[in-house]
Structure 1
Amino acid sequence: MKLFCLLTLFFTLTIQAQFQINGIVTDSNNKPLPFATITTSDNHNTITDVDGKFTLNYLVKANHFLVSYIGFQSRTIEILDQKKFYSISLSQKTDDLKEVIISNENPALTIIKKVIANKDKNNPQKKLSSFQYKSYNKLIVTANPDSIDGRIDSSAAYKDFDKKRINIDSSDYKFKEIISKQHLFQTEKISQYQFGNHKLKETILGTKMAGFKQPIYEVIAFNLQSISIYGVKYELFETKYENPISNGAPSSYNYKLLDTVNIKGRDTYMIYFKNKQKRKSSGLEGVLYIDQENFAVAKAVMRIKGVLDISGIHEFEYVPSEKLWFQSNTTFKIVKGKNDDDIKILGGTIQFDGDVEDNFEPRKKSASDFTYLLSESNNFDIHYNTNEPIKNPALYIEIKDDASKKPEAFWNEYRKESLDLKSQKTYQLLDSISIKKRIENRLGLGRKIINGYVPIGPVDLDLKKIISFNNYEGFRLGLGGITNDRFSKNFRIEGYSAYGTKDGEFKYSLGTGVLLDKNTNTWVNGYYTDDVREIASTFFAVDKRVFKIYDPRPINISTFYKYTGWRANVQSKIVPKTEAVLELARTYVQPEFDYLFNYNGKLYSNYIMTTAMVSIVWAPFSDFMQTPTGRTESDKRFPRFTFQYTQSLPNVLENDFTFGKIDFKTEYEKNYLNGQKTSLLLQGGYAMGDVPLTHLYNTMPNNLTKETIIQRITFAGRNSFETMFFNEFFSSQYIFFQIKHGFDRIRILKKVRPSLVLVTRMAWGNMENPEQHVGPEYKTLDKGFFESGIELNKIYKGFGLGGFYRYGPNQLLKFEDNIAVKISYVLDLGL
């Protein structure tokens, strides 16, 4: 959701010129010199990128700049008023740089090893017991108007002297006119960072977002770059890379000593690093400035160049009293990179130039090619070893209730410098545009649609309830919804009604809830329901609602039970990094298939269950954000654990049976830098006592009982056994394990790029007291069930194909009966 919001803003908002000079540094053979040092006459530093290119802010005081590179003669370049681009060629020195060589190995690698060995002495989060500071951040999406052609004309055509037909579009001119007056997007925030007990917390004191009265919290929580330079992983644009100074980094990176540079009065080594992989966009690269005395990082430039060109810069101040470099400024910039395909994001197309080949004419750049995102943070009011207690340390981010309501005096107090006229106009114009075009409302609408709702006045219509299909009800037609904030922020009503065209029955549910505590999202709810449910299925009360345009597995289900009753629960996030539901329910159950439950010699065709249940999900490694509207998981990490316990209540409200159920699952996902992904799922259940078949376990089968493979072709489920037939196995105890490994998309044709996924599933189970279940024939999983398969997802327009094979003790006699072919569909939003 955070990525959805930020990319939407970055690529779809099309609205002080920043005077700059640009250039390229090359050698005598016209080959670019990456990471050459550019130093202005007023002592500002920058470096060239991997292509030797640089951008330098045009400062009034600066009249020249110095270009230096290891092994080359330095050059001083005069800044001319009208000149915007400088092509600079450096001549190679006849003498080598005097390097400090400690051994016969690469001197840069020797220095990096000393950096790694001294990390704990130089890392503020290791050396200091605590610290705190304030930070001012400004993020803009803008463009340099001087880079845009901006020819003025209508979308007309004319012929030049050579009778060539030329089409001219005025869109560039309009874009340049807009971008000269304002930014496309702008946001500011003032934060207080506190570190103690090995935890870092950000409290946002003030936040301001152009065009929005209520800030988009997902954008605020978006992690553009790592706060610390010393972590095992370094993060850029919510993608983690191996840190070039991690313990294992020397095996993954090449290092080169470029130069020696003075920073803040201290001598530093300038070391270039690059991932050893040869493939394009293989990983992180950049420059580290290493203090020659204590081998601390005095400055860092991190970069990824691919479809997006992303860079993160960390600057530090040396603190003599602590003998420590402490971070003072960070800069993050993202511009469009190069790719040979256009990219679709939320229905819009972004064009990129590919690598130029023979007889290939690049397209004319559009205005959006010059758009970039820039985020700058300045730290101040820094205190060391304060030992001040941190309130709610389990929270990673906390946004104060009045953060978006701060007066202008507050911002003037904390801004490093006053807003220029262009930034002031950005707030004024975007606020008026937002009101006129109802941008804030439309973004809120998009957020709700992604979650499966459409707001109609004070009610959000539930898209999941409109239509579905299964083999028992046929087409299930319905209407449902829940009241929203326009109705009340502290009270809600929800419900639905549905009709099955095959079973000819109406179903309905009605519920209400009252908010007890906004900060912990604590609600008390009550429901009454008359509906049907798949037999022996497992539902975790804390599982997040997942909206799908279609839910494939239920299409094939034909065995249900009817349930009627009420339930009351309390749901809360009061315990850090958890969400819990405590529920009391009374349900009348009637199996809608040939089944009787034998309990103490009496056969039950229907029964009453009165139960108490507690369900909790624990995400110990995730980051959580407290906003004025409640607590949310800002960064979902793995593993995460879900536990649920259900206990019947004997002699309470006519309860018929005494039993207990324990259910659990553990999820883990790992994303690799090369686009691959591994996911693991371990799930199990244990039913104790007298439990009817309706409430036992079927381990998610998804195969039809048909003669041929073609007849059994259906849609694949997410975590279901594709070769296991419906109602083939039942268990009172089971354990299920699944491993999936997805590879990066394979290019077959330009528009055919399937994603290859390897899947293996296995389960073991047992059935206690099988004599209690009268009617259906079934098998048990004592010897285990095994299947493996290959999925080719997103072959074309989101559709894919998969094949699965059943093997092991429960393999069937006919080879073809062990094979299942399934269709998959993945809705691709371009994220």
Structure 2
Amino acid sequence: MKKHIVILFSFLGLFFFGQSKITVLKTGERTPISNASIFCKGKLLGKTNIDGTLTFKTKCEKVEVKATGFYEDEAVVDKVMELGLSKTDPKTQSIEGVTISDKSDPRALAILQKVNNNFKNNSPHSLDSYSFKSYEKISFDFDEDSIKQYNQYLTHRLDSLKLVPTKTQSAEQKKDSLEKLNVMKLMTQSKLFLWERASEYLYSKKYGEKVNILDNRVAGLKQPVYEMLALRSNRNKIPKEIQEENRTLYRYFLTDSIEIDGRKNYVIRFRQADYKNPIQKRKFNGYIYVDAATYGLKKIESNSKKKSEGSITSIWQPIDNKWFLLKENFKIKMGSTVFDEKQKDKKSKDNSEEKLKKKFGNYVFVMADYFDFKTSINENKKDFTGYSMSVKNSDGDVLEKYRTDSLTERERMTYTKIDSVGKKYNLDQKLNVLTGFTKGKIRVGNVDFDVLQMLKYNQYEGFRLGIAAKMNEKFNKYISPDAYIAYGFKDGEWKYGAGIDLKTTLDKTSYFRAEYYNDVDAAGRFPENLWNFKMKINNSGVDLHNDRFYHLKGFKLSYENDLSNALTVRVSAKRDQEEAKFDYNYNNLGNSFENFATQLTLKYSPNSKSMMTPSGKLTYEQNYPEFYFNYEQGIKTLGGDFDYSRFDFLVQHSFKTKIGVTGIRVYTGLVTGNAPIWHQYAINGLGSGNSTLNFNLTSYLGFATMEGGKYYNDKFVGYYLTHRVPFYFSTFGKKISSFDMVYRGITGDMKNTAIHQFEFEKLNHFYQEIGLEANNFLGSPFNLGFFYRVGYYATPTFKENFAIQLKLNFLGF
């Protein structure tokens, strides 16, 4: 085994540190530039010959290219490289700008269309099985050119501070000044952040994909950030720069062909559509190499309009006629470190001081190498069991075995320096707070607080303030008690509950739960069992204009288990007292009843990907379709007042075609037997029903133009269709906007309305509304939708049929 590893790394060394060839050309003219200088971290590697080429060896990830009379640029190191430099003469630039049309070259678009059409066949996923490994490194630091400048600046500043008279400071001020100085010194010696990961990827058409995190380490943290382990790349997807729906955002030009490893490649250059004039050296945003034989992607480099803002490069290689990602290199600007300096204003007569800002750009650097490719593996079912991703090791002990790029002195110091900082400032806990928030939790030590319980609003309770706390794995790995309390300002009542989870294993989701509750809920609410955080937020505004609530108090026992990565089951039994909190009489029996019921819940998500963490299952990639099923059975013989059966089903799917992205949601419910109205189904209306403009927040299963709390059925079927028009355009800032066409509909019936003695209507015709949503409206994180009611329930009054709806963009369709 050791011999194989030595041979493997020797091969990698020969590959990555072998000879590279670069060709430097004049942009627009495609003629060679001779005597162009190629640098690695300021060290001259050589100059191009009369043909504009240079062959060299280097361990640098990138090289800088400089030539007299041209703007300098850089290129990611590869076996074969080609770079176009723009002339520095402004007059020449304007002439070249006219030469290049603002429309894409039809030949380039035709080639890119073939790339898209052949992507599945070229993808490794078209193989029966494969495996490979990866080594990835993410860091946060200054740009290499800025490190030396920063060190000189800090030395000068510290020397200057020694000459300044000491000011009288409080203990707190002294502490802040000292901490600031320590951080400034730290940045001279190490990066601000460093994370390494080694992974193994297994794929089988029969069993799917399995990712094993062989080892990983994050500077300053005792445990990995599990959300970060799921960071994705261009590994199995078409880069956004050439996706069909993004074609309007770029202009593409077929400029030449080039031979790499004996294979002909088309060279396509592109720029952003709003990139009318070259800014800071770049006429193009990047280039694409396409293999002429298979139309597989060989290489893509995408740069920001301004060179200082970053670039992304991905390189593929053919193995058994499939294109595997070989290397990735990202550099993305993430703000600046700014220092204020005071100096005497030379123009001022009173020797006053002016403030100058010294800026040093901060960047996220990402590099990833993929190696040890095998296109046929032994498909052992045991290797694919459990969740889609598993963590084998997380202390960094075996990282050296997989590193394809040795750590620099600055990176080695990062582990030493930042580890001590992380321990001192408890960075683990602070990051857990941030990552927990993405799952709807705020973590503070041993306790997780539920974000969704903090503030709610509905027509019955008005504003509802609450706090829900649950002990996490730091308290106990197997036992997790929880409790909550809430107060509604409109009804003036307290609500509360408590429970406890008992895990049966730490390898997957499997636990028993017991709970007590004394609360209220909306009558006829569609169950949200096993919904994720985004779905619940999306549906949280469904009762803004609904005051039909009932009180429930009782006990519940349940058991939940992940039977596989795709299938989750939950079974439960409850006994409670239920009472209507609105004017209601059920079949002349009153409005308060005893209920005993059992429930079975299933969730099936065959394409989603999850991993197990100490805090529970983390679904790091939600893919469609998804199926949710609930069956509730009221049992009179076990102490309940009613025998009834309640079935409901939800399926959602999203798929992409040449005409755009379509999302579909179908949901249905059926109640048999006798039960009060809150065990039937409310048809969720979001409207207020008054004469004012109908403005509301989105909901997962609601209708923007329908009056809230008006319709109830014992059977129904509803659907929600959305289609994103494949036209994308830039708006304010860096946001990309688009439009969604929306169509919602629902119908059903109720067999016996007379036994439910309160004011409502059954919905037994098709209720329909159509709409148009503007995504990232005016560059904001919100979608603004305009909806109109059509069909049977439409009225002659425009205002009654019209509604405006607001939605957070990140919630999806």
- 542, 546, 564: which is aligned to 1:557? 546
Quote the Cα distance in structure 2 between the aligned partners of 1:487 and 1:606: 40
Q: Which amino acid aligns with 1:695?
A: H
Equivalent-residue separation in structure 1 for 2:204 and 2:731 (angstroms):
52
CA 1:769–1:202: 2 relative to 1, 3 Å: same
Q: Are 1:725 and 2:701 counterparts?
A: no
The total of aligned residue pairs comes to: 702
Amino acid aligned to 1:762: G
- Give the match for residue 219 of structure 2: 210
Q: Tell me the CA shift for residue 269 of structure 1.
A: 1.5
**Equivalent pair of 1:202/1:396 in contact (CA under 8 Å):** no
Q: The residue matched to 1:603 in structure 2 has which SS?
A: coil
Tell me whether 1:375 sits opposite 2:373 in the alignment. no
Is the 1:524–1:568 contact (alpha carbons within 8 Å) kept by the matching residues of 2?
A: yes
Cα offset for 1:526? 1.0
Whether 1:575 aligns to 2:564 is yes
Distance 2:201 2:40 in 1: 30
Q: Can you list the C-alpha shifts for 1:184-217, whole angstroms capped at 9, x where unaligned?
A: 3222222222233363422111111112111111
The CA distance in 2 between the partners of 1:533 and 1:805, in whole Å, is 29
SS of 1:448's equivalent? helix
Structure 2 counterpart of 1:643, one-letter code: F
1:698-713 equivalent positions in 2, closer than 5 A: 698-706=682-690, 708-709=691-692
Where 2:213 maps in the other structure, the secondary structure is strand
Distance 2:244 2:800 in 1: 50
Q: Is the 8 A contact 2:217 2:224 kept in 1?
A: yes
| TM-score, scaled relative to structure 2 | 0.72
Provide the rounded CA distance (Å) in 2 between the counterparts of 1:37 and 1:200. 47
What's the counterpart of residue 480 of structure 2?
Answer: 492
| Residue 268 (structure 1) aligned with residue 252 (structure 2) | no
User: In the alignment, does 2:245 pair up with 1:234?
Assistant: no
Equivalent residue letter for 1:641: F
| Amino acid corresponding to residue 387 of structure 1 in structure 2 | N
Give the deviation of 1:673 after TM superposition: 12
- The whole-number CA distance in structure 2 between the counterparts of 1:721 and 1:298 is 44
**Cα–Cα, structure 1 residues 698 and 205, in superposed 2: closer, same or farther, change >3 Å?**
same
CA contact (8 A) 1:114 1:295 kept: no
Cα separation, 2, equivalents of 1:463 and 1:226: 33
Q: Tell me what 1:161 maps to.
A: none
Rounded Cα–Cα distance in structure 2 between residues aligned with 1:752 and 1:119: 27
Alpha-carbon distance between aligned partners in 2 of 1:120 and 1:761, rounded to the nearest angstrom:
33
* Equivalences for residues 15-94 of structure 1 within 5 A: 25=24, 27=26, 31=27, 57=40, 63-66=45-48, 73-76=51-54, 86-87=66-67
- Give the secondary structure class of the aligned counterpart of 1:533: strand
- Is the Cα–Cα contact under 8 Å of residues 519 and 631 in structure 1 kept in the other structure? no
Matched, 1:662 2:647: yes
Change (3 A) 1:621 1:463: closer
Hey, what does 2:678 align to over in structure 1?
Answer: 694
SS in 2 for 1:430: helix
CA distance in 2, matches of 1:544, 1:464: 12
Residues 540 and 644 in structure 1, CA contact (< 8 A), matched pair in contact too = no
Tell whether 2:208 aligns with 1:222: no
Q: Are 1:592 and 2:600 an aligned pair?
A: no
Q: What's the CA shift for 1:700?
A: 0.8
Cα-to-partner distance string for 1:485-527 (whole Å, 9 max, x where unaligned): 3322211111222344443433221111111122221121111
AA matched with 1:662: F
What is the CA RMSD across the aligned residues, in angstroms?
5.1
Deviations 1:558-591 (A, max 9, x none): 2211111111111222222233322112222111
Q: Structure 1: which 5+ residue stretches go unaligned?
A: 1-20, 41-53, 93-104, 158-172, 350-363
Report Cα offsets for 1:135-163 as digits up to 9, x if no partner.
33333333433246544665999xxxxxx
Is the 1:136–1:378 Cα contact (8 Å) retained in structure 2?
Answer: yes
- 1:809 is matched with which residue? 792
Q: Any unmatched runs of 5+ in structure 2?
A: 1-19, 71-83, 87-104, 161-180, 277-283, 339-355
Partner residue of 1:258?
256
Distance 1:716 1:532 in 2: 22
- Shift in Å at residue 726 of structure 1? 2.9
Alignment CA distance shift 1:721-1:299 (3 Å): closer
Q: How far is the alpha carbon of 1:633 from its aligned partner?
A: 1.6
> Secondary structure of the residue that 1:786 maps to in structure 2?
strand
SS of aligned partner of 1:428: helix
Distance 1:768 1:310, change over 3 A: farther
Residue 144 of structure 1: aligned partner: 143
What's the counterpart of residue 166 of structure 1?
none
Q: Secondary structure at the match of 1:769?
A: coil
1:524 equivalent in alignment to 2:507 = no
Whichever residue aligns with residue 219 of structure 1, its letter is M
Amino acid at match of 2:755: Q
Offset of residue 36 of structure 1 = 8.7
Q: Distance in 1 between matches of 2:663 and 2:186?
A: 46
Distance in structure 1 (CA, Å) of the matches to 2:570 and 2:53: 68
Residue correspondence of structure 1 range 766-781 to structure 2 within 5 A: 766-773=749-756, 775-781=757-763
CA deviation after TM superposition for structure 1 residue 762, in Å: 1.8
State yes or no: 1:385 paired with 2:370.
no
- CA change 1:301–1:39 in 2 (3 A) is farther
Shift in Å at residue 539 of structure 1? 1.4
CA distance in 2 between counterparts of 1:498 and 1:384 reads 57
Whole-angstrom distance in 1 between the partners of 2:772 and 2:541: 18
3-state SS in 2 of match to 1:730: strand
Aligned to 2:197: 189
- In structure 1, the partner of 2:77 is none
Cross-structure match for 1:359 = none
Deviation string, structure 1 residues 359-407 (Cα, Å, up to 9, x no partner) = xxxxx99755362412121413x54533241535366743335x11353
Partner of 2:668: 684
The alignment partner of 2:713 has SS state of coil
- CA distance in 1: counterparts of 2:576 and 2:375, whole angstroms: 59
Equivalent-residue separation in structure 2 for 1:421 and 1:234 (angstroms): 36
> Displacement, 1:767?
0.7
**Deviations, residues 228-279 of structure 1 (Å, cap 9, x unaligned):** 5xxxx414xxx595399xxx99xx996747344353xxx1223213579956
8 Å contact kept, 1:498–1:507: yes
Instruction: Tell me the amino acid that sits aligned with residue 197 of structure 2.
Output: K
Q: Is the 8 A contact 2:483 2:499 kept in 1?
A: yes
Partner of 1:361: none
Distance 2:655 2:220 in 1: 37
Larger deviation, residues 268-277 vs 528-537 = 268-277
1:329 corresponds to which letter in structure 2? Answer: L
The aligned counterpart of 1:335 is 332
Q: Structure 2 CA distance, aligned partners of 1:673 and 1:446?
A: 38
The answer (yes or no) to whether the contact 2:633–2:646 under 8 Å persists in 1 is yes
**Distance in 2 (alpha carbons) for counterparts of 1:119 and 1:723:** 42
Offset, 1:788 = 3.3
Displacement of 1:759: 4.0
* Superposition pairs of residues 599-618 of structure 1, within 5 angstroms: 603-618=589-604
SS at match of 2:630: strand
Q: Is the 8 A contact 1:268 1:298 kept in 2?
A: no
Q: Quick one: distance in 1 between partners of 2:30 and 2:514?
A: 64
Q: 1:682 to 1:297 in 2, by over 3 A?
A: closer
Distance 1:288 1:497, change over 3 A: same
- Structure with greater proportional helix content: 2
- 2 CA distance for matches of 1:491 and 1:406? 30
Residue 259 of structure 2 aligns to which amino acid in structure 1? V
In the alignment, the residues of structure 2 paired with residue 768 and residue 387 of structure 1 have an alpha-carbon distance, to the nearest angstrom, of 58
Identity among equivalent positions (%) equals 21
Report how far residue 737 of structure 1 moved. 1.9
Q: Which residue of 2 aligns with 1:314?
A: 315
User: What corresponds to 2:341 in structure 1?
Assistant: none
* Contact 1:754-1:800 at 8 Å conserved across structures: no
Do structure 1's residue 760 and structure 2's residue 752 form an aligned pair? no
